[in-house]
Structure formats: C-alpha cells, structure tokens
Homo-oligomer: A and B are copies of this chain.
C-alpha cells in the first residue's frame, strides 16, 4: 500500500516517494516527446529511468494516472511561469504581447514538456473513445483571454469582434508557432512572437473612424 492511502493522514508522501514519482514523470515526458504517444510504453519509460518496469505500476495506479500526473505537472509549471509575466500590463494589447512573449520564453526551456503535453492531448481517450483532454481542457485559458478582450472592447481600446474566436485563434497561433519551431529548430522564435503580437494588435485594435481623418 502506498503511503498516500493511509487513513491517519500522517506523512502522506515520503521524500523518496516524491523523488521517484518526479523522476518517472520526467522520463515519461522525455519519452513522449521523443518517441511519440503510440511508441511510448511503460517499458520504454522504465528503461529511460533505469528502473524496473514494475516500479511505475507501484508508484502510479496505472498508465492513466501517470499521464494525469504529467498533465497536472506541466500545466502547473506553465501557469506559474506565464501568469506573473503578464501582470502589470495596463492595456489588453500589452497583456497579449506579454502573454505571447512569456509563452515563447517558456517554450525555449521546456520543449519536451510541451511536446509531451501535445502528444497526450492529441491521443489520450476515455474508454468510450472520446478525447480525454479535448479543446474543452483549454477553457480556462480561453475564458481568461476572452475576459481580457472584453475589457479592451469596453474601454474602447479594441474593436468589436467575437472574443471567443479571437481567444481560440490566439491559442492556435501560439501552438503552431511552437510546432513550427520544433520542426525547424533554427526558426527565429523571437521574431515569430513579435510578428504574432503585431498580427493580433492589428487584428484587435479599434479602428480610427474613417470620417475623422480630414478634420
């Protein structure tokens, strides 16, 4: 029985327990990133970690739980990295630019994590065949960005558009920037990020009224 299951609530996880879990998660991330979802078996992960295959089953209830832990771990990591870097921006445009830059900065240091997350999102299914981590999993991100756009529209900074479509599209643009960089590692991420920021600035900002130009 793993310590976590203890009912007395004491010392739910030992240090060594946590270290093993972290090590396994790390190796699993590497495996998913390098080999792809379909080619990543528990045996391959164990091989990378230099441990017996059974150890994974001991520390995680099954492949499903291991994957959930990976998703949790990476998601928490990204959020902790990106959110602080978006604070203090007065305008929606500024916040979006900061958002994109922060994500790009994260990408550089966490290529494997993001690749693994992508493999998992694209492939993991529930037993009834539906995606386990569908678009719906992005809802928090969409909603935050929607809120950002809505405030910008209310303040007159941004033009009128569907905030949900814009939020979804921004995410798609960022994700594809990552995929493109993975495919072409020499690709200039910083330039791409700036282009994206410009793109969405033009796409969202309020238009100066045409008639007033000659005033």
Interface residues of A (CB under 8 A from B): 1, 34-39, 43, 46-47, 52-53, 118-119, 122-123, 125, 129, 131, 134-136, 159, 161-162, 165-166, 168-169, 171-173, 175-177, 179-180, 182-184, 191-192, 195-196, 198-200, 202-204, 207-208, 213-215
CB neighbours (8 Å) of A171 from chain B are 176
Nearest 9 pairs between A and B by C-beta?
A172-B176, A135-B183, A213-B213, A203-B203, A165-B195, A172-B172, A169-B173, A202-B203, A199-B203
CB neighbours (8 Å) of A202 from chain B are 159, 202-204, 207
Tell me the complex Cα distance, A106–B181, Å: 29
Partner of A214, one of B125, B129, B134, B214: B214
CB neighbours (8 Å) of A183 from chain B are 131, 134-136
CB neighbours (8 Å) of A191 from chain B are 162, 165
Are B177 and A175 in touch, CB under 8 angstroms? no
Say whether, besides A1-B53, A122-B122, A123-B38, A161 and B213 are in contact (CB < 8 Å).
Answer: no
Are B123 and A161 in touch, CB under 8 angstroms? no
CB of A167 to closest CB in B, whole Å: 10
CB of A196 to closest CB in B, whole Å: 7
Are B135 and A180 in touch, CB under 8 angstroms? yes
CB neighbours (8 Å) of A136 from chain B are 183
CB of A179 to closest CB in B, whole Å: 6
CB neighbours (8 Å) of A129 from chain B are 34-36, 39
